[in-house]
Chains A and B, each alone.
Chain A
């Protein structure tokens, strides 16, 4: 279960490109862990290291700039998180300490995976992202107010659906939310069992 999110202030790491896909976030060859952890080292591996599979940092990649060592916010472009639905991309980001991705737009599956893992997907206009990046100063993300604030007091609003916001703020797990409907589910199944008995394999096979 993710830590509840209210507000966060951090120097954002600019990764200003479009279509950062999940294979770039974590290449298939870096998905060495059978669990949700042990993935941070593989984050952005194709850009971060000089050779495929190697661990020598490429100084040209922003993540290797010591100024951003503690960044918890990424700034990026259009269609962030597109490609394969692998949730490892989000697990790797979370393990590496990122709690917010500010981008022009997100691939829907990726955005859903973010919320389930305590990362806030914030969609802003390109010019807002550009000014946040140019500032080179800390940025505050205020989830209750749905605002992004720059160091010099400028503010941009963003939107997120109520359920996602509630899950992020309370660190709630979708399973807990659904289990509030446990009675509905068992009533539905009782009814369905007589309508479609072939669905319920336990009894038939």
Chain B
């Protein structure tokens, strides 16, 4: 047996190789598959039409999150024209295939990458795939989790495997401890801004360092969530006591003697000293300021005290309606959105509520909070956070992806400027012509109060 030091990624990869294929590819075992209603019916129906079955339905899950309505009192009807068919057909296909579906009004419904950890569906050392690019969120638990296309989902359901070229591996080390109001969202935006939206292309990026060790699991999920905005196949963090404590007792996690055996195996899941990476990044988290995006790519992000770059692309400036050299703080906004698989968990809502308590959003600002899961919503309500949001003038919604992306139904109006705790500020992401600024929940909340992009350190 080789004793060469290995990275965390390499250990998980090696543990899952069923067969080597030609040209550096491998047949890799897939432990968990998670579908959602946007593509779930297409994948399941196409599989059935080809006369194939889901090899192990107990390890496949589905949820309605992407186009399901998030207004109170919801049912199968959606604001997206024709959206209801996605829900009813995914339901029918999931039932036919014997797959557990977290349906519209299931108490465990929520955004796929939020509920999977809540239910212990993701575990350290697993391979987990979903037809959604933010599946990388779940790498926070030391799993290899990544987004795939529909055909690959079919392939994995039919065979329990995927044919895959081995990705490269990088490491981003965050030293130091971030100052108040600097969150994991600011850390990942800083990485992408410094090294470009293509920096992690084709790689798995391991996040490490003092700031990551000190971070809670929700923050680690935020960090891994945006690995895909760095063009990485996934992000991953070595599981530690915090990860184990989070998972213990969750529904699909092992229990009793099974838990002890699993834990023994999970303790090996860390990069060996001396393991080599294709590329390493070092960032001092203690020196970071809250970040906000000014343009139409997450790499267009700057410290909130900064200015739109002088050499900013003219087309981007035209879309976003800002000028080169303009200070980003103080730019007026029309709307604020708190939610998504990036920043829609309990600690995110607590952070926003801390800013909002006893205050009102600026007049004319449309403000919406969408908890990442129904469990997050219940926990937030148990703490009274919903009253803080409602009293401040926020809408308080049922869980789902909601206005994180525009599916053809509900959106913001063309030209509206939105500060958003989501992950993508692409053209049209939140509706045709909508101008999105991505930032942490703290920055979104204080900006909603002021009606303009605001440094949370001035208020909190």
Contact = CB atoms under 8 A, between A and B. Distances in A.
A36 B156 CA distance: 18
Interface residues of B, number: 60
A113 B151 contact: yes
B159 A185 contact: yes
A174 B155 contact: yes
Interface residues of A, number: 49
B252 A201 contact: yes
Contact of B82 (A32, A83, A192, A196): A32
Contacts, number: 132
Contacts of B81: 32
Nearest to A178: B159
Interface string B260-272: 0110010000000
Interface string B17-33: 01101110101010100
B7 to A, nearest CB: 20
Interface in B37-66: 38-39, 41-42, 45-46, 50, 52, 56, 58-59
Given A29-B407, A116-B151, A188-B29, A175 B158 contact: yes
A197 interface: yes
A147 interface: no
Given A34-B45, A34-B90, A199-B59, 5 more contacts: A163-B25, A197-B258, A198-B262, A201-B252, A202-B59
17 contacts: A28-B405, A29-B406, A29-B408, A87-B150, A113-B149, A116-B151, A117-B151, A161-B23, A163-B21, A175-B155, A177-B163, A178-B155, A179-B159, A185-B161, A197-B254, A197-B258, A198-B254
Interface of B: 18-19, 21-23, 25, 27, 29, 31, 38-39, 41-42, 45-46, 50, 52, 56, 58-59, 81-82, 85-86, 89-90, 123, 125-126, 131, 133, 147-151, 154-155, 158-161, 163, 202, 251-254, 258-259, 261-262, 265, 405-408, 426, 428, 432
Interface of A: 1, 23, 27-32, 34-36, 52, 83-87, 108-109, 112-113, 116-117, 161-163, 173-175, 177-179, 181-182, 184-185, 188-189, 192, 195-202, 204-205
